[in-house]
Amino acid sequence: MRTDLIKLVLLLIVLAVVVILAGYFGGGERTPGGFDHNPQGAPSHNAPGESDRGPQEEAGRNPPGRFDYYLLVLGWSPTYCASERHDRSDQQCETQHPRSFVLHGLWPQYERGWPKDCATGAWPWVPRPVIDKMLDVMPSTHLIIHEYQTHGTCSGLGPTEYFSAARELYDRVRIPSRYADPATRLEASPDEIERDFVAANPWLKPDMMAVACRGEDLLDVRFCFGRDLAPRPCGANEDEKRLSRQDTVSLRPAEAGR
């Protein structure tokens, strides 16, 4: 009887570990930061016949370090916080520190499609000191960990190097003064947002960026960089007809007090 009880306990422990590991490594395209890789719900560019990936990638192996360019994603924080207002523990949405654009992630991309959750042969652990150094621009511990697990593992870089590259590119993008105050509601067309960023960043060209929306709200602004971190034109993933179908985009203000 005692032996059977021990076997049952061991079986339950094994099942619990399997569930935990599945949750740790799994996950869809919707991230803890609330932003979708495919925000308008259009068919994914990873669909059969639409990818420029090689046989290994098509087989789902996603080898780390094999990609064409980086996508730097700056999310408009009030859009996320408006949709996730029920989560009062979210660091990003603390109303005493309202935020406008925040660093959502740095995503390795193929010319069509993108890798994710790449197997590195090691547990995708992000050290606490690395997390702490990113919280001023990426204000969510959960998001930082998720972004490395889902996207950073595909860069071929360790967490320190990956977030160093993300920080370097984030610092390179100057936010136009018009968008610095998250307390003010703004209306603008996607083309107007692009023009504002190009005017504030002389190195930037319109084909190097894209504006993404969630419905009528601005979701994020995306910038394309080569593997060498030099700016470059975006690939097919950043098709603005798919990412932003609105003529006018709303930049909703941050919530006041909770």
pLDDT in tens, 175-208: 999 998 888 889 999 999 999 999 999 999 999 9
Q: How many helices (H) and strands (E) does the chain have?
A: 8, 6
- For range 129-139, the mean pLDDT: 95
The pLDDT assigned to 232 comes to 97
β-pair partners for 69: 109, 226
The one-letter code for the residue type at 25 is F
State the amino acid at position 185 in one-letter form: R
Backbone angles phi, psi at 249, to 5 degrees: -110, 140
Q: How far is CA 191 from CA 38, 82, 187, 247, 249, in A?
A: 20, 24, 12, 9, 10
Which pLDDT value is given to residue 91?
A: 73
The catalytic residue positions are 104, 147, 151
Which tens digits make up the pLDDT trace of 136-153?
A: 999 889 999 999 999 999
Separation between Cα atoms, residue 131 and residue 247, nearest integer Å: 38
- pLDDT score recorded for residue 209: 96
- Of 43-52, 91-100, 200-209, 211-220, the one with minimum mean pLDDT is 43-52
Spell out the SS3 assignment of 218-231. EEEEEEEEECCCCE
Tokens 């930061």 belong to residue = 33
Neighbouring CB atoms inside 10 A of 158's CB total 19
Question: Which amino acid type is present at position 118?
Answer: C
Question: What is the percent of the chain where pLDDT is above 90?
Answer: 51
Q: What percent of the chain has pLDDT over 70?
A: 72
Residues counted in the chain: 258
79 neighbors 218 (Cβ within 8 angstroms) = yes
What is the 8-class DSSP label of residue 231?
B
The C-alpha angle with vertex 171 and arms to 151 and 242, in degrees rounded to 5, equals 50
Q: Are 26 and 149 contacting, i.e. CB atoms less than 8 angstroms apart?
A: no
174: how many CB neighbours lie within 10 A of its CB?
13
CB 198 within 8 A of CB 231: no
